[in-house]
Structure 1
Amino acid sequence: MSTQRFVMKCGGSTLAALPDAFFEDLRSLQERGVQPVIVHGGGPAINETLGKLGIESRFVNGLRVTDEATLDVVEMVLAGRINKEIVRKLGKNGAKAIGLSGTDGNLIEAKPVANSDEVGLVGDVTSVNAAIIEGIIAMGYLPVIAPIGIDGASQRYNINADTAAGAVASHLGVDTMIVVTDVPGIMRTVNGEKVVLPSVTFADIQEMIASGEIYGGMIPKVRAAMSCLHGNVKEVLIVDGAAERVLSRAVTEGQIGTRITRG
């Protein structure tokens, strides 16, 4: 099998709920010469920790309003707790992983988002130091990246995990990004039965949101997947992490979940 590489984005709570078989599948891919890179989020865990500390969680258009106190918690939860939980779980299942934050070695360089006056210290990715990721892969390890960014003045930024994952994939020259969720893909009702759509475009998604076919909690999942289509990434594959050998099937067969393209 030729060396293949993929970037996988997963929410922290989704990853925590995944069975050991998922991590074993990652290990078997690594052993077969496939090079996975994980970028993770952790919204629910951040909300929970902020709540315990009496700090209110506020969002503007899906972005967390982030001051320095909130950013301390975001970094602690993402780079401290969740990142290391994922690394440990991979290690437990025989995979070799190294956890990183986007601030390590200026891995993810960022600048304030356009509406920073509303959301505070939220960043857009300006560049990714792909050489760090390449170095870790060359040593035979799987990079696990927490989406915190940094600028030239060492100011940290909270980066949306989907944006960060898309930027990492683009800078690594990866065509396809895999978004691991708790749903089998984008569903449509056909003859009274729910079926997974094998592929959709941005226009299809907008139509399905407008018609109410995509609704509720699925809307942010689909929008998140769309925001991973960043730079040179050509398609995003939404898959259910609990499905059997989901990553092996996504990488080698491609016939699982829903493929999203710009159209």
Structure 2
Amino acid sequence: MKSIVIKCGGSVMEDLGDSFFESLSELKEEGYQLVFVHGGGPAINKMLELYQVPHEFVNGLRKTTPEVMEVAEMVLSGQSNRKLAAMLQKQGLKALGLNGSDAGLFLGEVVDQEKLGLVGKISGVNRPLLEKLLSEELIPVITPIASTEDGTKLNVNADYAAAAVANAIDSEHCIFVTDVEGIFIDGKLSSHLDKKEIEQHIKDEKITGGMIPKVTSAMKAISQGINSVMIVSGKDAFYKNGTWIGTNVSAKKEVFN
């Protein structure tokens, strides 16, 4: 079974274009099974402000108190998940929204209770469940929420959750959807960059601004064990006539088919 894991951040979800969905349809026609993992950062921030829940970030991760966790789950499962699943359904793609904590889909462990609260890492993925859904031609749309063995809900970085799913089902590709086509160096879209090249381009200030966290997230996901991450645009086609459009990021240079 050929599969692709697609991570869609909350900030780009509003900007997904028709060409993006056309690429998804083309991949489905070629026999790829799709799995979405999504975030919801901006919407969570907005709701935390509305309910006046104190919140902060520590080393790029949202410190998750029980109050923050309650709001995050409400937004992710009740708003962001529903929205993305509905968008896929509207395009004729059979999407099924799931909470990562449902049916032991994501088994999690606390990262650092003192510093980060209920922030977790995924220690196990229910592969049989995902394979069953994919065999039914369904597209799982999953929140990055894990559950510990005692049932405690944990907030997981969506990049890491996508990497965990990709590892669990041996996906051919893990794709990060952003607001740009990929990484541009000297005005040209780079089809493939490895860790060493990225570090050098950041040092030379050829990768700057908002692209730095994108490539950093990709490299962190790769550190979770997957071979590569493809950075693509959610506004345009990222796969057309059998050709990928974006930047493949890997630990070392390998051919990306």
The TM-score bracket by the shorter chain reads: over 0.9
Q: Would you say 1:261 and 2:250 are equivalent positions?
A: yes
How far is 1:55 from its partner? 1.6
Residue pairs, 1:220-239, within 5 angstroms = 220-239=213-232
Residue pairs, 1:201-216, within 5 angstroms = 201-216=194-209
Q: Which residue, 161, 167, 173 being the options, matches 1:170?
A: 167
What TM-score, normalized by structure 1, do the two folds share?
A: 0.90
Determine the C-alpha separation between the residues in 2 that align with 1:137 and 1:101: 16
What TM-score, normalized by structure 2, do the two folds share?
A: 0.92
Residue 62 (structure 2) aligns with = 64
Determine the C-alpha separation between the residues in 1 that align with 2:158 and 2:80: 13
Q: Would you say 1:219 and 2:177 are equivalent positions?
A: no
Task: Report % sequence identity.
Answer: 39
Q: Would you say 1:23 and 2:16 are equivalent positions?
A: no
Q: CA, structure 1 residues 202+116, in 2 after alignment: closer, same or farther (shift >3 Å)?
A: farther
Determine the C-alpha separation between the residues in 1 that align with 2:210 and 2:114: 28
- Provide the secondary structure at the position in 2 that maps to 1:228: helix
How far is 1:167 from its partner? 0.5
Determine the C-alpha separation between the residues in 1 that align with 2:105 and 2:56: 27
Q: Would you say 1:152 and 2:149 are equivalent positions?
A: yes
How far is 1:126 from its partner? 0.4
Residue 51 (structure 2) aligns with = 53
- After superposition, what is the alpha-carbon deviation per residue over 1:44-83, rounded to whole angstroms, capped at 9, x for unaligned? 1111111111123310110001001100111111111111
- Root mean square deviation of aligned Cα: 1.6
* Partner AA of 1:79 in structure 2: S
- Provide the secondary structure at the position in 1 that maps to 2:249: strand
Aligned residues: 252
5+ residue gaps, structure 1:
none
* Contact 2:17 2:236 survives alignment (8 Å): no
* Partner AA of 1:199 in structure 2: H
5+ residue gaps, structure 2:
253-257
Residue 255 (structure 2) aligns with = none
